[in-house]
Structure 1
Amino acid sequence: MATQGIGSRNNPGRQDLSVILVTGSYDHEIRFWEAWSGICSRTIARSGESGQVNRLAISPDKRLLAAAIHKKVNIYEIASSSNTPIIVFEGHTGNVTAVSFHLEGKWLVTGSEDGTIKIWDLRTGHIQRNYDNGAPVNDVCIHPNQGELISCDQAGSIKQWDLSENVCMLDLAPAGDVPIRSVTIASDGSCLVAGNNKGKCYVWKINDESAQAPRFQAITKFQAHNKYLTRCLLSPDVKYLATCSADTTVKIWSIGRHWEFKLEKILSGHQRWVWDCAFSADSAYLVTASSDHVARLWEMASGETVRQYNGHHKAAVCCALHDGAG
């Protein structure tokens, strides 16, 4: 939990300099924003480089930004003004669709349309491990225990990868071959949510490894959107699930004690597909990125847009936010 985050409802104009808010676009630009003023404080223009920005991730210590750009991943220093990456990870042969930092910043995991998941050593710049997923990877998240990965793919599978055993331990296909677009795991490791191309969400309770019940226990499923689902994300306090869609909305689902998912709010304002979202550390705010070229900051309590970020010239397809302790 953040003691000083994006702001507070009582003092919404307050700017916390420790807030890192970044968006990426098909215009090939990465933009850093002052969360409350809406001013773009830095642009990584990447002039002469080809490839759209697919995903962004901020390291836990707020030092590094990882940008998945077509088939490679650029690592930038956040405190620097340089447009030149300090590391470039090359090795994927297809679009990189997922990127996430290890909690202690030792490694980075990526997933790609080339059907592989790779773990990169941030100290040496080399590949530590390479997993053959067998189908184009759409998303990868790291379990809070830092010892497992959960991936989802175009073939409709959700896989659990055990890093200590170096193998795939589980393969779920909740809707047959319907592609699974996004996966998200609770910060306390209690549940997993996945969303598919038909707008449906599936929820599993994650049991302790010593429990008698199966490790992943299917508990519910629900129709989140009637159109393509692009992202699902559990809030840090595990009280809400945000789902983004081609229907131009973001839906906020409250999570009950017995894993009931109830539609709490519909965030309306974007004019085109909403591609990505990121919660503030205290779960009080949500940032979204859309094909309408705009990113928005929403207040969860009211469901209203409290700031809009204008500047991209094409679809804004990814965002990253880190306003917690570094």
Structure 2
Amino acid sequence: MPAFSHPQKMNTPRQDMSVILVTGSYDHEIRFWEAWSGICSRTIARSGESGQVNRLAISPDKRLLAAAIHKKVNIYEIASTANEPLVTFEGHTMNVTAVSFHNEGKWLVTGSEDGSIRIWDLRSSSLHRIYDNGAPVNDVVIHPNQGELISCDQAGSIKQWDLSDNICSHELTPAADVPIRSVTLASDGSCLVAGNNNGRCYVWRINDEHTGLPRFQAVTRFQAHNKYLTRCLLSPDARYLATCSADTTVKIWAILGNYEFKLEKTLMGHQRWVWDCAFSADSAYLVTASSDHTARLWEMSSGETVRQYNGHHKAAVCCALHDGAG
């Protein structure tokens, strides 16, 4: 049973690792939260260290937290109380905008405004590979098969990178020169959704290359928001799409047959831009981070806020949640 069904078990990350909830902010702080009580159980206050926290990712085994901080990535031990990272990956020359763990925790992928995608070996703490994307990278996700990456960029392109052949094998440009802000993949690798700066979402079916059909088959597009879209994310059960926006809302789209997306509910409560979101493992809850300095935990069934996390002194721009099996 998913950990979120047992609020009585939710203590601090050091006492109980069933739920890891983390937020990052322009106040240079990373905060760990007790999901149900709303209490901040640990703060990584990077005093004297410059650079805002851009993105967060939790390793599949719940042991490590990767924090993209300006031009570098700090790797922290979640069970520790230390402010110092275990290791720091440096080499990007501009903001790191994306970070994601391999499902066995062997490597980490990052994307940056410097136009590069980098793969870091967590076992040797070294840089393994660099891809030249040719334009500032806004997001990178790892395909569930762990053999491909999907990136999106400021030039309006979506690219598939084949890790075995070390090449860009496919490129999509749904709207020329309109930056693609965010990409998300279904957990079974069957569907890709991308959201752009104009608030529009594009959907592709991903076909097995052995079927003879195009690898990416465009199936629909729709206007999710009338303002800047910051994040789109498919739920683990692939039944919903969450979209975050500068319009202060999060919209939840039900995914019907034939890849039809229907607006199910609009989550309202944040006072400023909503930058990031993360689903619980059972797709029943959603965490969001906003420029209003707060994060919120939403119940998907009711669309209501069940907890608000207060403590950041500037915009909360990223969040990470891991309540599944470690």
On whether the aligned pair clears a TM of 0.5, the verdict is yes
Give me the whole-angstrom Cα distance separating, in 2, the residues matched to 1:100 and 1:57. Answer: 6
Give me the whole-angstrom Cα distance separating, in 2, the residues matched to 1:267 and 1:321. Answer: 18
Alignment partner, residue 305 of structure 1: 305
Alignment partner, residue 286 of structure 2: 286
Q: C-alpha displacement at 1:14, in angstroms? A: 5.5
- Does the 8 Å contact 2:2/2:281 carry over to 1? no
Alignment partner, residue 234 of structure 1: 234
CA deviation profile, 1:15-34 (whole Å, cap 9, x unmatched): 36310000000000000000
- Does the 8 Å contact 2:2/2:282 carry over to 1? no
CA RMSD of aligned residues (A): 0.9
Give me the whole-angstrom Cα distance separating, in 2, the residues matched to 1:67 and 1:158. Answer: 24
Opposite residue 320 of structure 2, the aligned amino acid is A
Give me the whole-angstrom Cα distance separating, in 2, the residues matched to 1:201 and 1:26. Answer: 27
Within-5 A mapping of 1:66-77: 66-77=66-77
CA deviation profile, 1:125-148 (whole Å, cap 9, x unmatched): 111110000000000000000000
Give me the whole-angstrom Cα distance separating, in 2, the residues matched to 1:143 and 1:209. Answer: 14
Opposite residue 6 of structure 1, the aligned amino acid is F
Alignment partner, residue 119 of structure 2: 119
Instruction: Tell whether 2:311 aligns with 1:322.
Output: no
- Does the 8 Å contact 1:7/1:14 carry over to 2? no
Opposite residue 246 of structure 2, the aligned amino acid is A
Q: C-alpha displacement at 1:6, in angstroms? A: 1.8
Equivalent pairs: percent with the same residue?
83
Alignment partner, residue 4 of structure 1: 2
CA deviation profile, 1:86-137 (whole Å, cap 9, x unmatched): 0100000010000000000000000000000000000111111100000000
Within-5 A mapping of 1:45-60: 45-60=45-60
Opposite residue 185 of structure 1, the aligned amino acid is L
Q: C-alpha displacement at 1:212, in angstroms? A: 1.5
Give me the whole-angstrom Cα distance separating, in 1, the residues matched to 2:313 and 2:123. Answer: 35
Alignment partner, residue 35 of structure 1: 35
- Does the 8 Å contact 1:4/1:324 carry over to 2? yes
Q: C-alpha displacement at 1:7, in angstroms? A: 2.6
The DSSP-based 3-state class of the residue aligned with 1:6 is: helix
CA deviation profile, 1:223-262 (whole Å, cap 9, x unmatched): 0000000000000000000000000000000001210000
Q: C-alpha displacement at 1:211, in angstroms? A: 1.0
Opposite residue 96 of structure 2, the aligned amino acid is V
Q: C-alpha displacement at 1:4, in angstroms? A: 3.0
Give me the whole-angstrom Cα distance separating, in 1, the residues matched to 2:116 and 2:9. Answer: 43
Within-5 A mapping of 1:1-326: 3-7=1-5, 15=10, 17=16, 18-326=18-326
Q: C-alpha displacement at 1:209, in angstroms? A: 1.5
- Does the 8 Å contact 1:246/1:273 carry over to 2? yes
Give me the whole-angstrom Cα distance separating, in 2, the residues matched to 1:4 and 1:317. Answer: 26
Farther-moved stretch of structure 1 (16-25 vs 254-263): 16-25
Give me the whole-angstrom Cα distance separating, in 2, the residues matched to 1:118 and 1:141. Answer: 12
Give me the whole-angstrom Cα distance separating, in 1, the residues matched to 2:57 and 2:257. Answer: 30
Give me the whole-angstrom Cα distance separating, in 1, the residues matched to 2:177 and 2:192. Answer: 19
Give me the whole-angstrom Cα distance separating, in 1, the residues matched to 2:61 and 2:118. Answer: 22
- Does the 8 Å contact 2:206/2:215 carry over to 1? yes
Q: C-alpha displacement at 1:13, in angstroms? A: 5.7
Flag structure 2 segments of 5+ consecutive residues without an equivalent: none
In the superposition, relative to structure 1, how do residues 78 and 108 fare at CA in structure 2: closer, same or farther (>3 Å)?
same
Give me the whole-angstrom Cα distance separating, in 1, the residues matched to 2:4 and 2:292. Answer: 24
- Does the 8 Å contact 2:58/2:320 carry over to 1? yes
Flag structure 1 segments of 5+ consecutive residues without an equivalent: none
Opposite residue 320 of structure 1, the aligned amino acid is A
CA deviation profile, 1:71-90 (whole Å, cap 9, x unmatched): 00000000000000001000
Q: C-alpha displacement at 1:40, in angstroms? A: 0.1
